[in-house]
Amino acid sequence: MSEESKPPQDNDHKKLGRELDLFYIDENVGKGLPMLTAKGMAIRRELERFIIDEEIRRGYMHVHTPDIAKLDLYIKSGHYPHYKDSMFSPIEVEDEKFMLRPMTCPHHFQLYLSKPRSYRELPMRIAELAQLYRFEQSGELMGLQRVRAFCLSDAHIICATEEQAADEIGKALDLIEYCAGVFGFVEGKEYTFRLSLGDRNNQEKYYKNDAAWEKGENLLRGVLENRGGKFTEIKDDAAFYGPKIDIQMKNAENRRERS
């Protein structure tokens, strides 16, 4: 039995979304393209104010970048060669190809590169509430959990040294723990940390630089170990460009979703 055909539980967000008039998905608009009602938008607006104010308080600079960019940008960043199956098809305009963005990484780094920088400016914390678009398969779409258009509180932190990077990663995890705590979520109970590692031998899936992978994985592992909490390590689940720390968050149905 598929997720969509199961009888809805009382805490099913799709059922609550209809009953409380929070969001609506219309076949005429498109699968995986939810629309928020006025009530749903009121909730989103409070969440946006909360996270923007908290990030600014912690030294993040909020920016705004376009929802699309030239295909060349994603080829340059490596996202298109490694991620194109999860991107919408290119849009051709005046003999140039553009992409609906699935992430803000290339935009934020182009902002950073827009003028000469000094090491004294680092760490630089660039943040944005960004509208993103990902081509999820039809069978994977589900309510607001798996969609093709969504807003993400996204940030990129540019550091000068490994020590600075380790410190900034710890501060980012502090922010995550603080926000989770505001909503009553406790580490180890409602959410856990996971270190997602690469595969040195899989050059088709991952960027080839063994020394950088070793350095990145050790740095992230060290940060998690120094925090004293429990975490698991999963091989062959990193981003194409490097290892990452994933937050496995329990949903209302007691299943873990990656954040």
Distance in angstroms (rounded) separating the CA atoms of residues 165 and 174: 14
H or E segment to which residue 164 belongs: helix 162-182
| Listed residue (167, 178, 156, 180) closest to 223, CA to CA | 167
One DSSP character per residue, 58-124 reads TTPEE----SEEEHHHHHHHTHHHHHGGGSPPPEEETTEEEEE-S-SHHHHHHHHTTS---GGG-SE
Q: Give 28-160's CATH code, choosing from 3.30.1230.10, 3.50.50.60, 3.40.50.10800, 3.30.930.10.
A: 3.30.930.10
The boundaries of every CATH 3.30.930.10 domain in the chain are: 28-160
The string of pLDDT tens digits covering residues 202-255 is 888 888 899 999 999 999 999 999 999 899 999 999 999 999 999 999 877 666
The string of pLDDT tens digits covering residues 97-136 is 999 999 999 999 999 999 999 999 999 999 999 999 999 9
Query: What's the confidence (pLDDT) of residue 10?
Result: 73
